[in-house]
Amino acid sequence: MSIIYFKPLDRFDFSSTTLDIGNPITWSRSHFLKHLFKRIFALDSTRFKEFYNHHLHYYLENIDEGQEQTYFKSLFEIVDRQLKVLNGRDVYAENHVTTQRQLAHLENFMSLLISLDKWNIHKSFGSVVAKQESDIHELQRQIETLKLELKNATELETTQFINIPKGGFLSFVDLVIQMEEIKLPSGKQLVFAEFQIVWVKMICKYFREDNREIDFNRVRRYFPKDRRNPGTRSSSIPADQHLFEIKSIIRK
């Protein structure tokens, strides 16, 4: 690729944010491509478009009858070639980690170029088409995996609910609270939840009161994080709603 498409770095320009190509002291124009990719690899991906526009502006200002399409095609070709070089490197080489990092960085840059391709130039590059087809295949595989995961996750879902008659809600909650206190002969709790919010979610999800949804915050009042220190936002079951008691059976 000719250097005419890119703005060379001015002599003694030591700026760390420059988009220009080259070294600040001296450098051989025959090593231009090395300096071009060194600059691209040093850029944050958020500056890719800025880099593209910076050199496009330089090219159009300095080349009579210069066209963006010509600039784009030249840049696209060199990036495509470099991607092939990186993909062709030995995976067992010592610099493999660096190669993979550069490959990912350049693929991001290529994605930007494709998004700017008003002339569909990228469609004539087999490697780009193959990469896009590979990406599509991978996305399709991920979709199928997610569909299966969703199916498994919703297998136990139901449109039916356990209904609590009007006026019986607090008596039911009282029974749930009592269940938490019951212990097996081994001394272990019959039912245990590390976090009280589990009971709240279960009641709201699978139960209805008089065939209506149960308010989440209403249930939450009766299941504080710490029953020994419930806090002012918590409530206890009123005595007139304590209608049942769960007791262990004493066997002879």
Tens digit of pLDDT for each residue in 56-95?
A: 999 999 888 889 999 999 999 999 889 888 888 877 788 8
- Count the neighbouring beta carbons within 10 Å of the beta carbon of residue 38: 13
Tell me: do 11 and 119 sit in the same domain. yes
Tell me: do 95 and 28 sit in the same domain. yes
Pairwise CA distance, residues 249 & 14, whole Å: 86
Tell me: do 153 and 173 sit in the same domain. no
Domain annotation covers residue 56: yes
Pairwise CA distance, residues 26 & 60, whole Å: 25
Tell me: do 96 and 198 sit in the same domain. no
pLDDT of residue 176: 94
Tell me: do 235 and 192 sit in the same domain. yes
Q: What is the pLDDT of residues 187-210, one digit of tens each?
A: 899 999 889 999 999 999 999 999
pLDDT of residue 226: 81
pLDDT of residue 132: 66
Domain annotation covers residue 249: no
pLDDT of residue 204: 93
Tell me: do 138 and 177 sit in the same domain. no
Tell me: do 9 and 120 sit in the same domain. yes
Tell me: do 100 and 200 sit in the same domain. no
In single-letter form, the type of residue at position 92 comes to Y
pLDDT of residue 14: 79
Using an 8 Å Cβ cutoff, are 93 and 30 in contact? no
Domain annotation covers residue 248: no
Tell me: do 64 and 103 sit in the same domain. yes
Domain annotation covers residue 250: no
Pairwise CA distance, residues 180 & 188, whole Å: 11
Walking along the chain (252 residues) 10 residues at a time, the average pLDDT comes out as 78 81 77 88 93 93 90 91 86 85 92 91 69 74 86 79 93 93 89 92 94 93 84 87 88 72
The residue range of the domain holding 191 is 162-241
Using an 8 Å Cβ cutoff, are 183 and 189 in contact? yes
Tell me: do 13 and 65 sit in the same domain. yes
pLDDT of residue 64: 86
pLDDT of residue 213: 93
Boundary (domain end) residue, out of 101, 124, 147: 124
Tell me: do 89 and 179 sit in the same domain. no
Tell me: do 74 and 111 sit in the same domain. yes
Domain annotation covers residue 252: no
User: What is the number of structural domains in the chain?
Assistant: 3
Domain annotation covers residue 251: no
Domain annotation covers residue 51: yes
Domain annotation covers residue 209: yes
Closest C-alpha to 169, from 102, 113, 238, 114:
238
Pairwise CA distance, residues 223 & 207, whole Å: 16
